Amino acid sequence: MKLSGFKTPLKAARLVIFTAGLVGLLWVPAMADQWSVFDTKYLVIRYQSLEDLEEFDRRIEFEESAGVSGFFTGSNTGENTEGDRLKKKLDALFEKVQLILDMRKPIKITVNLYPSAEALHEAYFQIYKKPGKLRAWYIYEYNTIYMNVADLKAGMLAHECAHAIVDNFLSVRPPRASSEILARYVDSALYKEVKTY
């Protein structure tokens, strides 16, 4: 429709304003990636929808008592809300990883939860400026774990937490191969009794 078809400039102006409004509306989906934050003692979980956080919760199978007896120091034992329960579960998992590694030091790590493999791969591309198909990874410089909520399990989260703990615990970051050996061990030992040395 041509603007010249309107009889008055006012109508043309209205159309312009209306069109601009439409364009504005159309921009909203393109501006997605709105992050919400779920904060625990050790983790800052960033997620894009409540469904993602619920899916994350479902996929992280971990019992507070899985070999962490006496170590988990939560003072209130009552589970008040779903959020409280999830926090306890995540912090218990994190403390189990610290216990396996025998590396306990105050630390807080960000976890970016992406809704799909595509979104995760896009994040990888934005960071590294090249394609990458990793399922999950940790970047020391950003102190952030990157994961796809549609493809994760407790062992994967424990593995990436182990990378974060190892990299931050030692005064010199260990070589990648050493760090990977430790992280894989944590992954495999997550549900086992912890050996003490």
Taking CB under 5 A as the criterion, which residues in 154-183 touch Zn ion? 180, 183
Q: Which is nearer to Zn ion, 43 or 136 (CB)?
A: 136
Q: Which is nearer to Zn ion, 6 or 185 (CB)?
A: 185
Q: Which is nearer to Zn ion, 7 or 176 (CB)?
A: 176
Closest CA to 136 of 163, 104, 171: 163
What is the distance between the alpha carbons of residues 10 and 114, in angstroms, rounded to a whole number? 46
Applying CB under 5 A, the site for Zn ion has a residue count of: 2
Taking CB under 5 A as the criterion, which residues in 34-63 touch Zn ion? none
Q: Which is nearer to Zn ion, 99 or 162 (CB)?
A: 162
Instruction: Say whether residue 186 binds Zn ion (CB under 5 A).
Output: no
Question: What is the token pair recorded at 38?
Answer: 């779920």
- Write down the least CB distance from residue 182 to Zn ion, Å: 9
Q: 48 near 148, Cβ under 8 Å?
A: no
What is the distance between the alpha carbons of residues 89 and 57, in angstroms, rounded to a whole number? 9
Paired strand residues for 137: 146
List residues near Zn ion by CB under 5 A: 180, 183
